[in-house]
Amino acid sequence: MWHTPKTRGLWEQAGPTQLGRWTFLHSGPLTSNLAEAGGFTRTMPSLPAPDLQWHVLPVPFQRQGLADPSVRAISMLITLVSVGSRGVVRLRSDDPRHKPAIDPGYLYASEDMEPLLSGLRMAREFAAAGPLAKLCTWRWPLVPRCGPTMSCATSSATIWARCTTRSGRARWAATPAWRRAN
């Protein structure tokens, strides 16, 4: 996620005027489905098909999308197209009222990690290039372990530099954002 302090958030643009615009003209910020951009890409040119899917949102994606946005931000979500990892669902008891134990098994398969790390590198490059570099900054708490406000290129390099090994970067990528806060 990148902080976009100079760009008004969608929630800031809501109101009676925009509701009327949406109702009568089918235009304006209320036409957003929040998944403003997306696509597929290969992490290596030799692959026969894309291995990553992208979703770009004009809001911070927090708590699995269930949190109301309260800060100006964009999110770039990276998803594996074909996942090698498998999870497990187990019964906790024979009482049907008890919820099952669910372990999604994220990133258990080693072949899942490298494409995601490549996707993280790509996201950093996208945010540090062209028009996005002028709009977005890294800012706490949106991105862990960074200073008050830095440019995308500077702080992304700083964060990435703190994870000096592939295993360190893999651990960072595999850790949910809410756990990376400190």
| Separation of alpha carbons 103 and 101, rounded Å | 7
In order of start, what are the domains of the chain with their CATH numbers? 2-24+31-89+101-177 (3.30.410)
Number of Cα atoms under 13 Å in the Cβ half of residue 38:
12
pLDDT tens per residue across span 153-167: 444 445 555 666 666
> What is the per-residue pLDDT for 169?
63
First to last CA, the chain: 16
Query: pLDDT grade, residue 172 (50/70/90)?
Result: low
pLDDT tens per residue across span 56-91: 888 887 776 667 777 888 888 899 999 998 989 999
Cβ(52)–Cβ(79) under 8 Å? Answer: yes
Q: Which helix (H) or strand (E) holds 76?
A: strand 73-80
Residue type, 142: L
| Separation of alpha carbons 160 and 146, rounded Å | 11
- 104 forms beta bridges with none
| Separation of alpha carbons 170 and 164, rounded Å | 11
Q: Is cis: bond before 96, omega within 30 of 0?
A: no
pTM summary value: 0.66
| Separation of alpha carbons 20 and 160, rounded Å | 45
Query: Helix 113-128 vs helix 166-174: angle between axes, to the nearest 10 degrees?
Result: 80
